[in-house]
A = this chain, B = another copy of it.
Amino acid sequence: MVRFGEMNMIYILDIIGTIVFAISGALASRERKLDVFGTVVIAFITAVGGGTIRDIIIGHQPVSWLNDSLYIYSIFFGILLTFIFNKTLLKLKKTLFLFDSIGISVFTILGIEKALSHEMNYGIAIMFGIISAVTGGILRDVICNDVPLILRKEIYASACLIGGVFFIVLSILNFNFELNLIITTLIITSIRILSIKFKWKLPI
């Protein structure tokens, strides 16, 4: 049986996250009736915006999607899926929500890992986890001329924060990486599901 190494697993999930975020960007563009080009731009920015700004601030160059065309293909794949399954996608909201949560979890963990590998402390690392996970969506909303959803009413970022803290604590406790990844993803997804079910809101 092939056992994925740590990097392989992160990489695969990073690609899944990229596809999911591209879909979320493409769906937002359709609502605003942008044309094909606008859709590509918004999908692209939503998918790689968080990672790009993270890498630029950390000073990690070149930015990851520059040297690996699979990221670009993933974005076009996500857009294609949106165009083909447009109506079905809206019905599949629960599936999408699940993938979106996986995407956010992976991006949070990726941000943390990258910051730690640049010898930053845990507090800053968690911050970069959140930056990786939420910046794409903020840019998407700002360009589409909305106040970013995430700043108004989502428990989204708090889920990243809590998941990120768990991830770091489990890392320090020397948990197996894959297990840690799965636990973190479950935590983030659960918080989001519970928050919707019970209408949790952060205090204003």
The residue in chain B whose Cβ has the minimal distance to the Cβ of A63 is: B57
* Contact (Cβ within 8 A) B72 A38: no
Which of B29, B41, B151 is A41 in contact with, Cβ under 8 Å? B151
Residues of B within 8 A of A121 (CB): 69
Residues of B within 8 A of A158 (CB): 37
* Contact (Cβ within 8 A) A38 B142: no
Which of A4-12, A168-176, A196-204 forms part of the interface with chain B?
A: A196-204
The residue in chain B whose Cβ has the minimal distance to the Cβ of A72 is: B123
Most interface-central of A29, A69, A144, A204 (chain B CB within 10 A):
A204
Cα–Cα distance between A185 and B72 once the two chains are bound (Å): 27
* Contact (Cβ within 8 A) B37 A202: yes
Residues of B within 8 A of A42 (CB): 151
Interface residue ranges of A78-112 to B (CB < 8 Å): none
Which of B30, B38, B124 is A151 in contact with, Cβ under 8 Å? B38
In the complex, per-residue mask of A126-138: 1 if CB is within 8 Å of any chain B CB, else 0:
0100000010001
- Also in contact, A35 and B124, with CB within 8 A (given A57-B56, A57-B63): no
Q: Is A143 interfacial (CB-CB < 8 Å)?
A: yes
- Also in contact, A123 and B202, with CB within 8 A (given A152-B38, A153-B35): no
Q: How far is the CB of A162 from chain B (nearest CB, A)?
A: 12
Interface residue ranges of A184-204 to B (CB < 8 Å): 201-204
Cα–Cα distance between A201 and B158 once the two chains are bound (Å): 41
* Contact (Cβ within 8 A) B144 A147: yes
Q: How far is the CB of A48 from chain B (nearest CB, A)?
A: 10
Q: How far is the CB of A169 from chain B (nearest CB, A)?
A: 19
* Contact (Cβ within 8 A) B148 A143: yes
